Chains A and B, each alone.
Chain A
Amino acid sequence: QKEVEQNSGPLSVPEGAIASLNCTYSDRGSQSFFWYRQYSGKSPELIMFIYSNGDKEDGRFTAQLNKASQYVSLLIRDSQPSDSATYLCAVRGGSQGNLIFGKGTKLSVKP
């Protein structure tokens, strides 16, 4: 059973701090990795994707991938109260190529 593990949180950070969200996956053959943000009562929204080892930056967001250690992380710099949401890690792998979602980490940014 291929798995994607996330700490459910809640992760609480003060406004302006760096929020660090982590995700591990079991399928060593996984090829691509995605971070979704889901506000309460809304549908998930894709915010970052990464395919290669290393860092990928987009504005205040940085995705980090380490395939050898099978983890992917999301850093949010200068966290804002509007970043308060659940963040879902998703990994594409397996023979059918469907995304496997983690259970999500709930982030709370306190003003």
Chain B
Amino acid sequence: EADIYQTPRYLVIGTGKKITLECSQTMGHDKMYWYQQDPGMELHLIHYSYGVNSTEKGDLSSESTVSRIRTEHFPLTLESARPSHTSQYLCASSAQYYGYTFGSGTRLTVV
């Protein structure tokens, strides 16, 4: 049973639209992460947070933004979607010194 939830699972949207990918966890984890992964390719860290009001950019430059107003919620926003944003977006959380728990992912297609 998943303790970290991502919605929507699949999203097809037109170029220029604003989108928000939702991620919530019920484990009380302080640390949360967003990864981008193309099919068959490696994980790329795009954003992370160590707690409320803490957000940092990851290793891969991204046009998305994140916020962390509540411990359990870490949404990712694209102000103007482009076809180059087509990918799978994975959210994860962890407690200190433990491994990450990943959500089921959102597969985004921008047409």
Contact = CB atoms under 8 A, between A and B. Distances in A.
A98 B48 contact: yes
A43 interface: yes
Given A34-B99, A99-B99, A88 B43 contact: yes
User: Looking at chain B's contact residues, is the secondary structure mostly helix, strand, loop, or mixed?
Assistant: loop
Contacts, number: 42
A46 B100 contact: yes
Contacts of B40: 40
Interface residues of B, number: 20
A54 B98 CA distance: 19
Interface of B: 33, 39-43, 45, 48, 90, 94, 96-105
Interface of A: 31-32, 34, 36, 40-46, 49, 88, 90, 92, 97-99, 101-104
